C-alpha cells in the first residue's frame, strides 16, 4: 500500500492530510522546506517502509506536531477526529516533553518513561518514524542541537527500536547519530574501511551469480539474493572488541540469500557447504535456536571462490521482514507466533505483543502495553524522569530526587497546580517540589509515603529533629571516570573541573585493562545543574569513555 493510495481511498486520511497541511502552512523547517514535509514523511515511513497500514496511526502521524507546534491545540483536533486518533496524537505530544539529560543512570528511566507513556505500541511507532525523519534531516540544525539530538537517538531511540525488533530502524538511527557523536572515529572508519568495503563488495557482486547458479543447479529455490554492508556504528563497536583489527571482521559484507521456506534454508546451507568449506565454529542455526530477540536465520562463513572468506545468511522472506521491521512487520505477518522483542527481562512485554499480534482484528485493547502498570513515570520541571511505585506521592518524588529535597519539601505543584503532599501521582505528571530551607519532615508523612527510601529518610530526619540537630547527609561528590589513557588526559580532566569552580578534594586513578584507566575524583558537593553541565563537559574530553557520579 502506498501513501498516495490511502490518500485517495480513505476520507479520514484525506481529512488529516488537509488539516495538518493547513495547520502547518507558512511554517518552514530549518532547511527551508515547508514544515508539512515532516509529518508527511513520518506517515510515509510507517505505511511504505514498515508496511504498517493502520489508518488511525497514519492519520495521527500526519497530525503529530499540530498540537505542539501550531496554534491549533488538542481540543481542536478532538473536534475533528476520532478518539483513537486523538489518543495517539496526545501520546506522541507527551513523549516530546521528556528531554535527554545525559546522566547514565537516568537513561534507563527515560526509556521506561517512553515505554510507559506509549501505552499503545502505535504511539511508539509514530515517535520512531518522527525521529527517523528528524535524524535524516539533522544536518540543517545548529551543531549544539545536532549533538544533543544525536545522543538522545543513540541512547534512547535506537535501543527502543531494537527492543521492538526493528533492527533496520535501530541500525539506521545509530548510523545517522554516529558521526555527530564520534566525529573522529567516524573519520577514521571512513578512511580505513572504505577500501576494504569496496574490495569486499566487488567480491560479493562477483560471487553472487556463482552461488545463484550452484543453488539452481541443485534445485534449491531462491527468492532473492543480494549483499549487505555492515553498518558503521555496529562495525565500530565490533572493532573495539577486536583491537581495531579489520581482518578479524568477517561480515564486513555478507551475502544474504532469501529462500521460500525453512526447508529451503537448510537445503541451501547443505549445497553451499558441499561446494565451499565452512570455517569451523561459525555455523549458526538461529532458526532452530533463535536469538533472544527473536532473530531467525542461518549464518555460515565459508572459504568461497578464490579461497576468500565471506559470510552467508540464509532466511525466508518472513524472517527477513521481521528481522528488518520487527513489531511493525508482524502487522503483515500476524500469523507468525515468533517472539520478536528482545531481552529476557521484558518477557511480559513480549507476552503482550504476542497476544496483540495473534488477534489483531479482535480488539484494540490488545495494543495497550501496560507492563509498567505498577510503576509511575513522572517528570521534573526539566524533563527528567523519576520512576516510582504506584500510589507514590510528591514526598516520594522529592526523596527520589535527593534526600535533602525530601527533607526540605513544603509543597508541590502537579502539572502547574498546587497539590497536597499526599496526592497520588500519575504517569506523565510534571511535578515541581517547593522547598523551604530549615524545614524538616513531618511525622504525618509516614502515613502516606510509598517508597522505603522516603520512609527511611523521614524516620532518620525525625530522629535528628528530636535531638534538635539538622542533619546534612551528603557533603561530597565522587566522580568515576573511565578513560582511554593518553598523555595529559588527567590534566585535561582536572582543568575542566577547576574551570567550573569546583574544589577537588582528592583524586586517584588505576589501570583497568590495557590502555583503559579509571579515575576517581572527590569534590565538594555539587548541585545537580552544575554537575550535569560538568559531566557533559567531561564527556567531551577526548578519551573519556564514561562518567558516573554519586554523592558521598
Ligand atoms: Mn515531529
Q: Domain with 512 in it: what CATH number?
A: 3.30.70.260
Answer with the one of 431, 466, 501 that is the final residue of a domain. Answer: 466
Residue by residue, pLDDT tens for the chain (552 residues) are 789 998 999 999 999 999 999 999 999 998 889 999 999 999 999 999 888 878 899 999 999 999 888 888 888 999 999 999 998 998 888 787 777 666 555 666 666 667 666 667 788 889 999 999 999 999 989 888 898 899 889 888 887 787 777 888 999 999 999 999 888 888 888 888 888 888 888 889 999 999 999 999 999 999 999 888 888 888 888 887 777 777 778 788 899 999 999 999 999 999 999 999 998 888 999 998 877 666 789 999 999 888 888 999 999 998 888 788 776 666 555 433 233 223 323 333 444 444 433 333 333 333 444 444 567 778 888 777 787 888 999 999 999 888 889 999 999 999 888 999 999 998 778 899 999 877 889 999 999 999 888 998 898 888 877 766 554 556 678 898 888 888 888 889 988 888 888 888 888 877 766 677 888 898 877 777 788 888 888 988 888 888 888 877
- How far apart CA 391 and CA 190 sit, in angstroms, is 52
- Based on the fold, state whether residues 9 and 122 are members of the same structural domain: yes
**What is the whole-number distance in angstroms between the Cα of residue 21 and the centre of ligand 1?**
14
354 domain-assigned: no
- Based on the fold, state whether residues 75 and 93 are members of the same structural domain: yes
Q: Are 450 and 423 in contact (CB under 8 A)?
A: no
**What is the whole-number distance in angstroms between the Cα of residue 130 and the centre of ligand 1?**
5
- Based on the fold, state whether residues 16 and 91 are members of the same structural domain: yes
**What is the whole-number distance in angstroms between the Cα of residue 13 and the centre of ligand 1?**
18
Interhelix angle 183-217/232-241, rounded to 10 degrees, is 100
Number of domains, the chain: 4
**What is the whole-number distance in angstroms between the Cα of residue 357 and the centre of ligand 1?**
27
Model pLDDT, residue 25: 92
- How far apart CA 119 and CA 368 sit, in angstroms, is 5
- Based on the fold, state whether residues 170 and 193 are members of the same structural domain: no
- How far apart CA 203 and CA 308 sit, in angstroms, is 9
| Cα–Cα nearest to 53, from 118, 124, 122, 119 | 122
**What is the whole-number distance in angstroms between the Cα of residue 396 and the centre of ligand 1?**
33
356 domain-assigned: no
- Based on the fold, state whether residues 216 and 295 are members of the same structural domain: yes
- Based on the fold, state whether residues 460 and 486 are members of the same structural domain: no
- Based on the fold, state whether residues 452 and 487 are members of the same structural domain: no
Give the angle subtended at the CA of 480 by the CAs of 518 and 409, to the nearest 5°.
175
Model pLDDT, residue 344: 29
Answer with the one of 126, 148, 180 that is the final residue of a domain. Answer: 180
**What is the whole-number distance in angstroms between the Cα of residue 99 and the centre of ligand 1?**
14
206 domain-assigned: yes
CATH of residue 441: 3.10.20.30
| C-alpha cell of residue 209 | 551469480
Answer with the one of 180, 214, 241 that is the final residue of a domain. Answer: 180
194 domain-assigned: yes
Model pLDDT, residue 424: 94
**What is the whole-number distance in angstroms between the Cα of residue 101 and the centre of ligand 1?**
20
**What is the whole-number distance in angstroms between the Cα of residue 496 and the centre of ligand 1?**
36
**What is the whole-number distance in angstroms between the Cα of residue 41 and the centre of ligand 1?**
10
**What is the whole-number distance in angstroms between the Cα of residue 284 and the centre of ligand 1?**
40
CATH of residue 258: 3.30.460.10
CATH of residue 65: 1.10.3210.10
Collapse the DSSP code of 533 into the 3-class scheme (helix H, G, I; strand E, B; otherwise coil) and give the result. helix
| Cα–Cα nearest to 45, from 147, 160, 166 | 166
Query: Do the strands 417-419 and 385-389 form a parallel or antiparallel pair, or are they unpaired?
Result: unpaired
- Based on the fold, state whether residues 395 and 503 are members of the same structural domain: no
> How many Cβ atoms are within 10 Å of 408's Cβ, its own excluded?
19
**What is the whole-number distance in angstroms between the Cα of residue 112 and the centre of ligand 1?**
21
| Cα–Cα nearest to 353, from 319, 317, 328, 325 | 328
**What is the whole-number distance in angstroms between the Cα of residue 45 and the centre of ligand 1?**
13
- Based on the fold, state whether residues 164 and 187 are members of the same structural domain: no
- Based on the fold, state whether residues 11 and 136 are members of the same structural domain: yes
Model pLDDT, residue 358: 39
Per the confidence metrics, is the pTM higher than 0.75?
no
**What is the whole-number distance in angstroms between the Cα of residue 46 and the centre of ligand 1?**
13
Q: Which domain holds residue 537?
A: 476-551
- How far apart CA 64 and CA 127 sit, in angstroms, is 9
| Cα–Cα nearest to 154, from 193, 190, 196, 104 | 104
Give the angle subtended at the CA of 5 by the CAs of 3 and 6, to the nearest 5°.
65
369 domain-assigned: no
- Based on the fold, state whether residues 30 and 154 are members of the same structural domain: yes
CB burial string 430-468: b at 16+ within 10 A, e below = ebbbeeeeeeebeeebeebbbbeebbebbeebbeebeee
**What is the whole-number distance in angstroms between the Cα of residue 63 and the centre of ligand 1?**
9
Model pLDDT, residue 61: 97
Active site residues: 68-69
336 domain-assigned: no
Neighbours of ion ligand 1 (CB under 5 A): 65, 130
**What is the whole-number distance in angstroms between the Cα of residue 114 and the centre of ligand 1?**
15
**What is the whole-number distance in angstroms between the Cα of residue 377 and the centre of ligand 1?**
22
| Cα–Cα nearest to 128, from 325, 348, 368 | 325
- Based on the fold, state whether residues 264 and 407 are members of the same structural domain: no
332 domain-assigned: no
335 domain-assigned: no
Amino acid at each position: 500500500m502506498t501513501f498516495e493510495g490511502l490518500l485517495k481511498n480513505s476520507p479520514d486520511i484525506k481529512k488529516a492530510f488537509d488539516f495538518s497541511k493547513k495547520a502547518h502552512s507558512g511554517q518552514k523547517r530549518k532547511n527551508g522546506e515547508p514544515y508539512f514535509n515532516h509529518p508527511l514523511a513520518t506517515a510515509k515511513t510507517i505505511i511504505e517502509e514498515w508496511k504498517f497500514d493502520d489508518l488511525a496511526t497514519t492519520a495521527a502521524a500526519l497530525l503529530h506536531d499540530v498540537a505542539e507546534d501550531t496554534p491549533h491545540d488538542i481540543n481542536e483536533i478532538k473536534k475533528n477526529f476520532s478518539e483513537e486518533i486523538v489518543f495517539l496524537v496526545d501520546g506522541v505530544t507527551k513523549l516530546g516533553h521528556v528531554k535527554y539529560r545525559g546522566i547514565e543512570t537516568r537513561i534507563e528511566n527515560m526509556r521506561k518513561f517512553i515505554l510507559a507513556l506509549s501505552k499503545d505500541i502505535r504511539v511508539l511507532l509514530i515517535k520512531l518514524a518522527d525521529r527517523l525523519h528528524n535524524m535524516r534531516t539533522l544536518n540543517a540544525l545548529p551543531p549544539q542541537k545536532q549533538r544533543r539530538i544525536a545522543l538522545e537517538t543513540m541512547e534512547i531511540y535506537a535501543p527502543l527500536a531494537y527492543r521492538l525488533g526493528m533492527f533496520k530502524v535501530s541500525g539506521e538511527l545509530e548510523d545517522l547519530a554516529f558521526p555527530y557523536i564520534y566525529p573522529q572515529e567516524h573519520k577514521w572508519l571512513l578512511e580505513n574501511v572504505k577500501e576494504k568495503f569496496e574490495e569486499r563488495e566487488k567480491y560479493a557482486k562477483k560471487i553472487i551469480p556463482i552461488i545463484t547458479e550452484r543453488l539452481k543447479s541443485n534445485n534449491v529455490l531462491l527468492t532473492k539474493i543480494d549483499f549487505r554492508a555492515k553498518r558503521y556504528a555496529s562495525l565500530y563497536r565490533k572493532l573495539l572488541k577486536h583491537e581495531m583489527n579489520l581482518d578479524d571482521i568477517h561480515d564486513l559484507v555478507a551475502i544474504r540469500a532469501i529462500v521460500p521456506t525453512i526447508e529451503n534454508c537448510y537445503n541451501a546451507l547443505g549445497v553451499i557447504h558441499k561446494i565451499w568449506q565452512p570455517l569451523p565454529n561459525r555455523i549458526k542455526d538461529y532458526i532452530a535456536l533463535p536469538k533472544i530477540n527473536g532473530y531467525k536465520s542461518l549464518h555460515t562463513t565459508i572459504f568461497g571462490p578464490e579461497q576468500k572468506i565471506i559470510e552467508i545468511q540464509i532466511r525466508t522472506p518472513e524472517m527477513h521482514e521481521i528481522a528488518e521491521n520487527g513489531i511493525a512487520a508482524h502487522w503483515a505477518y500476524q500469523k507468525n507466533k515468533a517472539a520478536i522483542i528482545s531481552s529476557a527481562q521484558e518477557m511480559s512485554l513480549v507476552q503482550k505483543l504476542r497476544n496483540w499480534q495473534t488477534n489483531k482484528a479482535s480488539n484494540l485493547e490488545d495494543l495497550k502495553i501496560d507492563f509498567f502498570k505498577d510503576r509511575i513515570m513522572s517528570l521534573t520541571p526539566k524533563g527528567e524522569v523519576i520512576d516510582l511505585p504506584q500510589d507514590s506521592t510528591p514526598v516520594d518524588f522529592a526523596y527520589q530526587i535527593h534526600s535533602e529535597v525530601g527533607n526540605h519539601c513544603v509543597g508541590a505543584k502537579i502539572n502547574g497546580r498546587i497539590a497536597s503532599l499526599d496526592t497520588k501521582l500519575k504517569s506523565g505528571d510534571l511535578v515541581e517540589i517547593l522547598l523551604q530551607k530549615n524545614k524538616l519532615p513531618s511525622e504525618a508523612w509516614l502515613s502516606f509515603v510509598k517508597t522505603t527510601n522516603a520512609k527511611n529518610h523521614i524516620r532518620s530526619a525525625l530522629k535528628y529533629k528530636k535531638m534538635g540537630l539538622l542533619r546534612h547527609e551528603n557533603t561530597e561528590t565522587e566522580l568515576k571516570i573511565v578513560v582511554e589513557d593518553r598523555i595529559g588526559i588527567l590534566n585535561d580532566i582536572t582543568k575542566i573541573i577547576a574551570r567550573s569552580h569546583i574544589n577537588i578534594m582528592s583524586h586517584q586513578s588505576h589501570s583497568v585493562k590495557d590502555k583503559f584507566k579509571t579515575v576517581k575524583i572527590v569534590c565538594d558537593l555539587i548541585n545537580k545543574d552544575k554537575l550535569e553541565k560538568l559531566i557533559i563537559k567531561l564527556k567531551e574530553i577526548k578519551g573519556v569513555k564514561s562518567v558516573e557520579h554519586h554523592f558521598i
